[in-house]
Amino acid sequence: MEEELFTKKLFSLEEANGLIPKLRPLIKKVTIESKALFGLQDEIKKARAKASLGSGSYQGVAYLNHLVSLTTAINAVEKTGVLVKDYNTGLCDFPHLKDGRIIYLCWKMDEKEIRYWHEVDAGFAGRQLI
């Protein structure tokens, strides 16, 4: 349950911004590996369709390597308490306590620092300036 994830760690704005230098290369890895997996999608679909015939794909090893790398990067981010929300844009949420309720401080990989927040159920569309 996602609720359990964000109650383990709450970030102040300063803590969250302080993590960005550590997160940026990990999130970059997430976006690169996600795009690589997407690029292999058609080849893997073909292999899956022929799997019952004992067929595979010459891209199978590459696919698995990208998948392991993606999973490793996501796990490293989530161990910090940060939630990866969009693999393509590098969108992350930092659970934060505001006025007695949990909200998310919202950051994208191309942003220098955290400048937005949103309600837990609002998502990216509900971003507001801090």
Q: Has this prediction a pTM greater than 0.85? A: no
Angle value at C-alpha 93, between 71 and 26, nearest 5 degrees: 35
In percent, how much of the chain has pLDDT > 70? 85
Question: Under DSSP, is residue 70 helix (H, G, I), strand (E, B) or coil?
Answer: helix
Q: Are 102 and 93 in contact (CB under 8 A)?
A: no
pLDDT tens sequence across 17-41 = 999 999 999 999 999 999 999 998 8
DSSP tag of 82: P
Count of domains for the chain? 1
40-58 average pLDDT score: 67
Q: Closest Cα to residue 96, out of 20, 16, 33, 18?
A: 16
In terms of residue numbers, what domain contains 25?
2-129
d(CA 52, CA 44): 14
